[in-house]
A and B are shown apart, each in its own frame.
Chain A
Amino acid sequence: MRWLRLYLRSRRVAPALAVSTATAALVWVLALVYSDAGTIDARAVSLTVMVAVAAFAATLGGADDALDHTASINWPVRRAGHLVVTAAVIVAPLLLTTVTDTRFAPLAVVVRNTVGLLGLTALGAALVGAALSWVAPLSWTLASLLPFIEPSTKPAMQVAGWLIQPAGTTAATVCATVLAVTGLAAYTLRGCPRRPAAETTPDH
């Protein structure tokens, strides 16, 4: 228990949790007040999930990268666990809204977008470090907002706009799965790249 508490604190999980929950709550309240539709659309779902994922991106790395590679602790298992639990924590508040009249739905889209974006972030963390891992998910999510990106039957468009395809679009699901699996594997096996421990504040 003590290890877990120290780990959560060293990864600054509390602010990330606060940001992700607050974002979901804010979008939900805005939709409740200003929208007549019962379902929050795929673009808003993507933006909400993206902010949550970016908030948790900071928790993927610690203050000292070298410490996270010491062999006396089984880091790969912990890193994998961290990602899986993070995905669950991001989906949980969105899932909670399904009992209300204004909901993040359908569930398949919420889960697909969360695991896909989280995988992309983990992949970024493994390649360029946690501090810059939000750039790819942010860019892809914003690009999905372009007016000509829409639900389509063309596989190229389904991949480019995978975030806003309806549930059950094969190419979009495959794209999200590939991102999730690659990210999970890369981050689990490799972790963040080792930078020299300088006198910098940890990324928060």
Chain B
Amino acid sequence: MMGRILRIELRRSAAVGVALLLLVIGAMALLSSTQGFAGRWMQLAVSVRAGLLVLWPLALAGGAWLGRRDARNRVDELFASTGRPRWQRILPTAGALAVAVVSAYVLLLLVGAGWVLPTADYFPVAAVAVAAVGALSLVAAAWVGMAVGRAVPRLVTAPALAVAGVALAALLPDWMTVSAVVDDRPAPAALLLTPVYIGGLDDFQTVTARVNLTQALWLAALATTGLLLLGAARRRGIALAVLPAVLGAAVAVPLMPTGGYQAAADDPGAAELVCDDAGLQVCVARVHAALLPDVAGPARQALAMMAAKLPDAPSRAVEDRQVASWALAGQDRTPTPHPADTIVFATPTIGSDGRADLSGDYFLPLLLEAAWRQDCGDQAYDRDAVLARTVAAAWLTGEPPTPEDWWDVEERALVDSAYRTLVGLPQAEQQRRMAAARDAALSCRADALGAIVRGEIP
């Protein structure tokens, strides 16, 4: 009986329209920046969660539209006078809308999976949890929307509710996150009450089970409140209906970590090394395994160029697996120095197909400079050291350095004269100076590295 009504509701109510709207808008938002998640499951889940910025308010509006149906058709009194319990009529409609919005969300994930599946090598189980919390949040939005639509059956209810939803679930948390970063303090834990993912997640990070579970608890409580409100007929019913959401928030907020969405955790599985041993060893993180074939060639080329000129040249290239500093607001980062036989290179740009985007010839200089680079923690910016690396990389290639567009006239002159001085020296002296500069760089003595540019003899 219930199943038949559910099918009729799915066929004839606005639920399918709401789902189509979510799917179309969500897919447009998702596919306009595929390079953000291509090849990485966790980033796909997080991207769809970020898309909730639009989908969540639309689900609220869709629910409000459906909740207003009885009043619009003037059948409220008729239904109130029938001898059936109210929930018998509520459940199929609410169920149909929930099925519709969750289907739209799952389809959205499947569309996104088309850009992940071909190249992904690492599948964190947490990505499933992150996606599931998003689906649950849409159900909560739809049911709360239905309850509001039933309580205030006006045409403007749906759009106004959507705007209120945006303000509460996205704009306010975003503003709070930014002001917390500005004041250099952790954002409040209550930020995690919103299902919209504010800010980004580094490729080497994950969302902890604690966050996913507390969010699921709170959103399930919110959904329950929506459903109970929808079924409530009397004052006491309404009061009881609000209880789950209040209790859910009261239990969840103390369990949530502070820092809001910045409270992401390191993911050792993502940072595990995948190596190519056909020749000199080149390694990338497992989460970037698809980049390895594209990266191995340039990396070996760089290692060969170093071996040709540099004494005690490094023999191994490894991807930098530090979490980017923007993802670690307020947290201290401990440097992890690497040995002299290894160069650590920054992740190349990931293209929209999930492979490395090496266009623009930026990658080989980056690899060459990596020989004079060490993880020294958050050191102050040292211009001379940065320019010295450019000179050093140019020395390896044997070509004069190509000017960067951010250099001013003085920097250009410094680099040019440093390079000419260097190549004017005898071969053995060149090698000695560059090796000394390398020692300085590897032991975090930035001013000794910068000596190349200043013309001092190290």
| A contact residues vs B (CB 8 Å cutoff) | 15-16, 19, 23, 47, 50-51, 54-55, 57-58, 131, 134-135, 137-139, 142-143, 145-148, 199-201, 203-204
Q: When the two chains form their complex, are residues A142 and B166 in contact, meaning their CB atoms are under 8 A apart?
A: yes
Q: When the two chains form their complex, are residues A51 and B53 in contact, meaning their CB atoms are under 8 A apart?
A: no
* Chain A neighbourhood of B156, CB < 8 A: 15-16, 19, 51, 54-55, 58, 134
Q: Which residue of A has the minimal Cβ distance to B71? A: A201
Closest 4 CB pairs of A and B: A54-B159, A58-B155, A142-B54, A55-B156
* Chain A neighbourhood of B74, CB < 8 A: 199-201
User: How many residues of B are in contact with the other chain, CB < 8 A?
Assistant: 29
CA distance A16 to B159 in the complex (A): 13
Interface membership of B81, Cβ < 8 A = no
Q: A146-B29, A200-B73 are in contact. List 4 more A-B contacts (CB 8 A).
A: A47-B166, A131-B155, A134-B155, A139-B58
CA distance A74 to B95 in the complex (A): 47
- CB contacts under 8 Å to A, within B141-174, are 154-156, 158-160, 162-163, 166-167, 170-171
- A51-B163, A138-B159 known; A147+B50 contact, CB < 8 A: yes
CA distance A47 to B160 in the complex (A): 9
Partner of B53, one of A47, A55, A135, A146: A146
CA distance A23 to B28 in the complex (A): 29
Min CB–CB distance A137 → chain B (angstroms): 8
Partner of B72, one of A50, A139, A203: A203
Partner of A145, one of B61, B158, B170: B170
The contact sample of 26 A-B pairs, CB cut-off 8 A, is: A16-B156, A19-B160, A23-B160, A47-B163, A50-B159, A50-B163, A51-B160, A51-B163, A58-B155, A134-B155, A138-B159, A142-B25, A142-B54, A142-B57, A142-B58, A142-B166, A143-B25, A143-B29, A145-B53, A145-B54, A145-B166, A146-B51, A146-B54, A148-B33, A201-B72, A201-B74
Interface membership of B427, Cβ < 8 A = no
CA distance A78 to B166 in the complex (A): 35
User: A-side binding surface: helix, strand, loop or mixed?
Assistant: helix
Interface membership of B32, Cβ < 8 A = yes
Interface membership of B21, Cβ < 8 A = yes
* Chain A neighbourhood of B51, CB < 8 A: 146
CA distance A23 to B156 in the complex (A): 12
Q: Mark B65-104, 1 if CB is under 8 A from A, else 0.
A: 0000001111000000000000000000000000000000
Q: When the two chains form their complex, are residues A134 and B158 in contact, meaning their CB atoms are under 8 A apart?
A: yes
CA distance A55 to B163 in the complex (A): 13
* Chain A neighbourhood of B155, CB < 8 A: 54-55, 57-58, 131, 134, 203-204
Q: When the two chains form their complex, are residues A143 and B162 in contact, meaning their CB atoms are under 8 A apart?
A: no
- A146-B29, A201-B74, A204-B154 known; A139+B21 contact, CB < 8 A: yes
- A54-B159, A131-B155, A134-B158 known; A139+B25 contact, CB < 8 A: yes
Min CB–CB distance B121 → chain A (angstroms): 27
Partner of A51, one of B25, B33, B154, B159: B159
Min CB–CB distance B341 → chain A (angstroms): 41
Q: When the two chains form their complex, are residues A143 and B28 in contact, meaning their CB atoms are under 8 A apart?
A: yes
* Chain A neighbourhood of B71, CB < 8 A: 201
* Chain B neighbourhood of A55, CB < 8 A: 155-156, 160
Q: When the two chains form their complex, are residues B159 and A134 in contact, meaning their CB atoms are under 8 A apart?
A: yes
Q: Which residue of B has the minimal Cβ distance to A57? A: B155
* Chain A neighbourhood of B158, CB < 8 A: 54, 134, 138
CA distance A39 to B61 in the complex (A): 29
* Chain B neighbourhood of A143, CB < 8 A: 25, 28-29, 54
Min CB–CB distance A114 → chain B (angstroms): 15
CA distance A148 to B21 in the complex (A): 20
Q: Which residue of B has the minimal Cβ distance to A43? A: B171
Q: When the two chains form their complex, are residues B162 and A148 in contact, meaning their CB atoms are under 8 A apart?
A: no
CA distance A203 to B72 in the complex (A): 7
CA distance A135 to B162 in the complex (A): 11
- Most B CB atoms within 10 A — which of A16, A54, A203? A54
- CB contacts under 8 Å to A, within B41-58, are 50-51, 53-54, 57-58
- Most A CB atoms within 10 A — which of B33, B156, B163, B167? B156
Q: Which residue of B has the minimal Cβ distance to A58? A: B155
Q: When the two chains form their complex, are residues A200 and B25 in contact, meaning their CB atoms are under 8 A apart?
A: no
Q: When the two chains form their complex, are residues A138 and B29 in contact, meaning their CB atoms are under 8 A apart?
A: no
* Chain B neighbourhood of A19, CB < 8 A: 156, 160
Q: Which residue of A has the minimal Cβ distance to B33? A: A148
* Chain B neighbourhood of A142, CB < 8 A: 25, 53-54, 57-58, 162, 166
Q: Which residue of B has the minimal Cβ distance to A44? A: B171
Q: Which residue of A has the minimal Cβ distance to B158? A: A134
Min CB–CB distance B49 → chain A (angstroms): 13
* Chain A neighbourhood of B163, CB < 8 A: 47, 50-51
* Chain A neighbourhood of B50, CB < 8 A: 147
* Chain B neighbourhood of A204, CB < 8 A: 154-155
* Chain B neighbourhood of A58, CB < 8 A: 155-156
- CB contacts under 8 Å to A, within B97-144, are none
CA distance A47 to B162 in the complex (A): 10
Q: When the two chains form their complex, are residues A54 and B160 in contact, meaning their CB atoms are under 8 A apart?
A: yes
CA distance A131 to B74 in the complex (A): 15
CA distance A146 to B159 in the complex (A): 17
